[in-house]
Amino acid sequence: MNPSWRVFPERQSLLAAAMEIIRQCEAASTRTFSIVLAGGQTPLELYRMLAHEPMQWHKWRVYFGDERCLPPQYPERNSFQALQAWLGQVPIPAEHIFIPAAELGPLEAAASYGATVCEAGEFDLVLLGLGEDGHTASLFPGHDIGAGQDAPEVLPVFDAPKPPPERISLSARRLSRARQVVFLVTGEGKREAVARWRRGEDLPASKIGAAQGLTVLADAAACPREFEEKGDSR
Ligand code: 6PG
């Protein structure tokens, strides 16, 4: 599925656009609004902004696209970072924040989180990042990313090239079971991965789809020059 690419001069306007998409998705959702969070530095800035937004928090159901197999209070945990930056400061009931028990190790955690996300149905919105090597969530190049029709909901990851090696990740199939998917991509380090994605190379990120909209929000620093000159095309 070809994403719609939107390029922003700098990070702040990109984050404002991401916030606008979140507002629209929340408004379009009926009884509940289910969102899958990404790890990484760019989403974290968005989470800090969300802590000050007036949202209909009672509707929110929060899931995590991937998690590191570390004790719950470790600062490297995606869930810990999101709790500190945002979730701990807004009135979302704790039982609506679905944190993977990643401390149990990849196998047990993947099985238990698989059962959790199995009940979630189609996600309203999935947020994702892009790694320098084209990974997304904890789906790494050269690994099984669970893109097939029979792929499990959640994969155990044992030898991630980005530390720590033990993680769990929603599979490509499960991440794609979403109305909207939005990638947040910033910084010069992503230029090569963006160029490869645009060339149609086989990367974990390029295997993600969505029911209604697949959007990449990128800053100019992350975009190869020729792409920048052409502007917001494709
Ligand atoms: C993780 C992430 C990972 C991340 C990318 C981009 O937990 O490591 O889910 O996929 O989103 O590596 O991270 P940055 O936004 O920090 O570059």
pLDDT along the chain (234 residues), means of 10: 92 97 96 97 96 97 98 97 97 97 98 97 97 98 97 98 97 98 97 96 97 96 75 47
- For residue 112 the two structure tokens come to 């238990």
Q: Calculate the alpha carbon distances from 59 to 54, 76, 77, 119, 232 in Å.
A: 12, 28, 25, 16, 33
Number of the ligand 1 atom closest to the C-alpha atom of 132: 12
- Residue of the CA atom closest to atom 3 of ligand 1: 137
Give residues (CB < 6 A) around ligand 1: 38-42, 65-66, 78, 129-131, 135-137, 162
Residue 181: beta bridge partners? 126, 214
CB atoms within 10 A of CB 20: 10
Q: Is 58 exposed, middle or buried (0-12, 13-18, 19+ CB in 10 A)?
A: exposed
In this prediction, residue 230 carries a pLDDT of 56
Distance 198 CA to ligand 1 centre (A): 19
In this prediction, residue 234 carries a pLDDT of 42
In this prediction, residue 43 carries a pLDDT of 96
Give the span between the Cα atoms of 205 and 129, in whole angstroms: 9
In this prediction, residue 233 carries a pLDDT of 45
